[in-house]
Every structure is written in structure tokens, then in C-alpha cells.
Amino acid sequence: MNRIEEFETFRKILNEKIHKYGNLDTKRFFALDSAVYKDGSLDRKTKELLGLVSSLVLRCDDCVTYHLIQCRRLNTTFDEFMEAFNVALVVGGSILIPHLRNAVNILEKLQEKEGSEDG
């Protein structure tokens, strides 16, 4: 299994455990987290890009990976990713650079998996 598949499998298994053992508040939070990314005044792709930028600024590599996967599924182009990365870099500053490297690495792996150079 490659890194992306390992991430998705690990996330799925552990989320199932959290749902199994979590209380009502935990389940409500997970439901809210899913609901907030649905199309509304902002479309889902825009919301996922917002999540990606926020995750980069907060330096959460797991969250960055998740949002990269979701954005690719929504046909986000390489240029759109680069613009989002620029926003994150300006907001987050130079401390963000190692996480930006990770994001570019994951994005390249997603493109390789899909056999494409762009969205």
C-alpha cells in the first residue's frame, strides 16, 4: 500500500472506532464536520480549499493530506493548489514551509496515482 492508501485506511478504521466508542457529542461533532463541507453559498471545492489553507496554517499534516485528497476528487487543478498554498504561506509565514513541502509531496503522489499532471 502506498502512503495515500495507508492514510485513508488508517483514517477509516480509527473513525469507525471513534464512532463506536464516542458519545453523542463526539458523533454530533463528526456530523457537523461532514455537513460544513457540503455545497451552500460556497461550493464544496471552495470549502475544501479553505480547509486546506487552514490546515496548512495550523500545521496539521493529516488534515492537509485529507483536504488534498478531497480537493483532487473535486478536480482542483495544480494552479488552484499553488494559489491556495500561496495564501497559506502568506498567512502562516515561513514556519509553514516544511508543511508546504509535505503538501507538494502528497499532491505529486496523488497525481501519480491518477496518472495526471493536473486536475
The 10 Å Cβ neighbour count of residue 8 is 14
The residue type at 37: Y
Q: What is the mean pLDDT of residues 11-25?
A: 96
* CA–CA distance, 117 with 119 (Å, rounded to integer): 7
Contact 69, 33 (CB under 8 A): no
pLDDT confidence of residue 105: 95
Q: C-alpha cell of 58? A: 495550523
Query: 55-78: per-residue pLDDT in tens?
Result: 999 999 999 999 999 999 999 999
Query: 25-38: per-residue pLDDT in tens?
Result: 999 999 999 999 99
Contact 7, 62 (CB under 8 A): yes
Residue 45 C-alpha from the chain's centroid: 11
